[in-house]
Amino acid sequence: MDIYRDGALYLYGVVGESYWDEGFTASQVLLALAEHGRDQDITVHINSGGGVVDDGIAVYNALASHKGHVRVEIDAVALSSASLIAMAGDTVVMRAGALMMIHDPSTITIGPADAHARTIEQLDAYATQMAAIYAERSGKTVDEARSDMKAEIWLTSTQAVEQGYADEAEAAKAKAVAAFDYRVYAKAPKELHVTARKKGWSMNEPGSKPTATATTPSNKQEPPMGDKPNGGEAPDNTAVIAAAVKADRERRRSILALEEAKGRETLAAYFADETEDAIEKVKAALAAAPKASADPAKPQGAADASAALHEQRRLNGEGLGGGDGPKAKSDKSILASAADSRNKRR
């Protein structure tokens, strides 16, 4: 998405890399500011449901260190990490009908107890840093700002000005909200829930993708924050999805980079894409499997197919292919996959 137009920044959509491909990253903002010029005044338009805390903090720091005057205009919504970005404005203006939301960072952790302990430390560090930023802008104490975060406060333009999080409530009408599954937030207004449902902006359905609204650039979570699900309609915050997608990508890269994957690339890709096995388990399975044959007389990938067949038969023998669990692929489908992979390499 082109976020720099006519000398202004348009921070619309998800903060950070998104599987929706609707949003902006810290890298894009840094490049745009460099193009604009560090000493030049700039207007920053925000219409975002939130996103990744790392990107949010990075964008905040980039804007806060900009030498020119930074005017932040909240066109519709500045929620979660997007509200943190808004705090960098020398002047923060909210349109009539615009909303700001402040809450605690959250995420998910996959791993043993010590991994969860490290996540707790990280979240506490994020929360402390964010509370200091909100406090500095609003004139509140850090403890008061932290209480606002824990409460998940939703502010109208007038309320944001009253509490010090914004400077002006503009008469101009707010634009349509950016595409986002607002149901992930515990206290989101009902109208945002309805809009997300009607537009099909769902993080629960893998096939869904938010369509850009009329006011969202169409050419293209912190993990976002909230602590209780709303009526079971969606996960309790976008971090569940964002972190899961990131973890899956990292898992795939780690599997394909294993020493044991060399010569067994097809099988490694199968484990990465079609199973949820732990990396250590995949590593052991790859080590036990024969490498693809270098013999021209033997079809490339045959060893991979044989190893995959062996693994699936082993799983079926353990009952993992039965009716109570995910059904293992048939020999025929695995051979077909291997053949398809062979054809793609030709």
- Residue 241 belongs to some domain of the structure: yes
Most confident of the ranges 23-27, 161-165, 178-182, 337-341: 161-165
- Reported in sequence order, the residue ranges of 111-206 that DSSP labels E, i.e. its strands, are 153-156, 168-173
Of the candidate ranges 141-150, 159-168, 254-263, the one whose mean pLDDT is the lowest: 254-263
Residue 134 has pLDDT above 70, yes or no: yes
Going by pLDDT thresholds of 50, 70 and 90, the confidence category of residue 83 is very high
Q: Which two tokens stand for residue 330?
A: 């048939």
* Domain end position, chosen among 215, 245, 275: 245
- Reported in sequence order, the residue ranges of the chain that DSSP labels E, i.e. its strands, are 4-5, 8-12, 14-15, 23-24, 42-48, 70-79, 91-96, 99-102, 153-156, 168-173
Reference 165, options 142, 144, 137; nearest CA is 137
Give the percent of the chain with pLDDT over 90. 42
Residue 207 has pLDDT above 90, yes or no: no
* 282 and 225 co-located in one domain: no
The domain of 329 spans 257-345
Residue 219 has pLDDT above 80, yes or no: no
* 185 and 105 co-located in one domain: yes
Tens digit of each residue's pLDDT (9 = 90 or more) over 254-279: 888 898 888 888 888 877 777 777 88
* Domain end position, chosen among 218, 245, 272: 245
Q: Which two tokens stand for residue 231?
A: 């009526």
Going by pLDDT thresholds of 50, 70 and 90, the confidence category of residue 118 is very high
* 227 and 340 co-located in one domain: no
Total of domains in the chain: 2
Going by pLDDT thresholds of 50, 70 and 90, the confidence category of residue 67 is very high
* 25 and 152 co-located in one domain: yes
Cα(195)–Cα(181) distance, rounded to whole angstroms?
9
> What's the whole-number mean pLDDT along residues 303-316?
46
Cα(48)–Cα(227) distance, rounded to whole angstroms?
19
Residue 139 has pLDDT above 90, yes or no: yes
The rounded mean pLDDT for the chain is: 77
Question: How far is CA 183 from each of CA 91, 150, 176, 192, rounded to the nearest angstrom?
Answer: 30, 18, 17, 7
